[in-house]
Amino acid sequence: MLSNLTGWHFLVILVVVLLLFGAPKLPGLARSLGQSLKIFKSEIKSDEPAADQPAADQPAPVKPAADQPAADQPAGTVDPRTKP
């Protein structure tokens, strides 16, 4: 996509940006763009480890045995998760 752009293309784009925004506003525009990219990259980095790897500090949930009632149920009640 960008392989066909030459130095002249970038020069024309720069002139158009200068005409649209004006020279005094360009440093503020570049600063805000840089801060936005910095925040975006930090958010991506903070989400990647959580999505790629399971949490090591949390043990896997233990499934209760079918013949024993769950700990939160009183004895003698039927566990709805088991098949009759």
* CB burial of residue 80 (10 Å; 0-12, 13-18, 19+): exposed
The rounded distance, in Å, linking the Cα atoms of 1 and 10 is 14
- Tens digit of pLDDT for each residue in 18-56? 888 888 888 888 899 999 999 999 998 887 655 555 555
pTM of the model: 0.38
Query: Which pLDDT does position 21 carry in this prediction?
Result: 82
Tell me which amino acid residue 70 is: A
